[in-house]
Chains A and B, each alone.
Chain A
């Protein structure tokens, strides 16, 4: 048995190089003084520094930030995560409760953070396969056989993805569209179509390729994406909060399609 030794050592004893506040008025993040060394950073640059410990260039930060703006900030309250914020508002709950619950819900399998985590893992594996001159077609086929999906390819509801081109334009603007992962992402799309799979690259596929080309690890990318949906979520709360309570897509009793057992007695 390992026993409680590790807990005994850790009691009132947290060692960290991440950051701290000092009662003399200083705050340190990753070894840098907030008020003297980090005070000129934009919020987003500071955010990325906190997550990765890396100081990105303005061009890189613009692209990283633009990924959020262009791909995951849709203010449509019908989208499943956004709807949580709207439902909270129409129920008379607070903006933070609704928005934080919606962010939690964004960690989803059919869309959202679980997908993007799989997508960056996939593209990083794929580039190894491709660079080692292994057979990319066989790799794709085995991925589909094992997981039934290629993360970053295909999309629920509609087949194409309107976010690809604007995002690509943005990457071009900063000359960040020619990295090896982005090239591979398009090569995979072509290959999937050649192989007969109707799976076009979706925004997540391009996002993870761009981010991998910027040097993001899988873990860094996961933490980067935590707040990604927030700019779409919060307007949905505001919108529903500004309208009459309870009127956001109300459902009458007839809107239940009951498929259970007949009426019975206990």
Chain B
């Protein structure tokens, strides 16, 4: 008897093949819905994102919240660490994918990146709506794992370590998202923000707002980390393309910005080999 071929097990996707080619899908179903026969032209991108992650049709507020989050974080601007990494690709004429891969690396981090969103998601799971627990965790934040490939946290996740006060776009985003869903983590964060900031000794950051929105959407910590990475790529893409056109001469090199503290100085000029 022929050995059964190995398969990819998935709850997300099912395909029926074309009659003349088993490698070409005639119909593709996402969680039971015909993607090209029914969903295309009928549902919005945020609705489809929700369906992909949650395998169910969203309620109106859920799609609206994803759309608002997507706009809020699509472009953190060219000073952002992940966008800067992408621009370094663009300015040197690197491949498009490498620019986005470059953006993903710093954009994954614990300082304003997706790992920080993951950490805040974990805090929501642990603290929920218990203010005292939040305050304890924020005033003395400890990484959950002693050994991990991520560097040790240097600030309470969800808060801006270098903020003087809560930045206006963060407040605007929190306010807007809370109008979309006012009965959960976002609303709690809005009402307790100042108390939490005092415990963290830092103002609320964008990662804190987005993690609250993802908590209201009942995403898992890993789903939130992934979606945050994904939704921040548009800005990285366009800024990389812009710098590619402008070229390296118009892009900072920090020529006088580096001080080598142990420079041995000129040693001996290398002699030409005879």
Contacts and interface: CB of A to CB of B under 8 A. Distances in A.
B1 to A, nearest CB: 17
Contacts of B57: 266
B101 A257 contact: no
A6 B9 contact: no
Contact of B267 (A36, A256, A258): A36
B8 interface: yes
Contacts of B33: 263-266
A35 B261 CA distance: 19
B55 interface: yes
Interface in B86-108: 95, 97-98, 101
Given A94-B95, A97-B101, A117-B149, A258 B14 contact: yes
A252 B17 contact: yes
A20 B258 contact: yes
B173 interface: no
A37 B17 CA distance: 64
B46 interface: no
A33 B25 CA distance: 59
A10 B86 CA distance: 22
Interface in A215-253: 218, 222, 250-253
B141 interface: no
Contacts of A3: 162-164
Nearest to A7: B162
Interface residues of A, number: 57
Contacts of B38: 265-266
Residue of A12, A13, A114, A266 with highest tally of chain B CB at under 10 A: A266
B21 to A, nearest CB: 9
Residue of B11, B25, B258, B268 with highest tally of chain A CB at under 10 A: B258
Given A253-B16, A260-B14, A15 B259 contact: yes
B267 A33 contact: yes
B25 to A, nearest CB: 6
Given A28-B260, A266-B43, A255 B8 contact: yes
Nearest to A37: B267
A31 interface: yes
9 contacts: A1-B164, A1-B201, A3-B163, A4-B162, A12-B254, A33-B264, A255-B8, A259-B10, A260-B10
Among all A-B residue pairs, the 8 with the closest Cβ atoms: A260-B11, A252-B22, A258-B14, A253-B17, A257-B7, A31-B262, A12-B257, A264-B32
Interface of B: 5-17, 22-25, 29, 31-34, 38-39, 42-43, 55, 57, 95, 97-98, 101, 146-149, 161-165, 197, 201-203, 254, 256-264, 266-268, 270
Given A13-B257, A251-B23, A256-B15, 12 more contacts: A1-B202, A4-B162, A12-B257, A14-B257, A31-B262, A97-B101, A100-B101, A252-B17, A256-B7, A256-B14, A259-B9, A262-B32
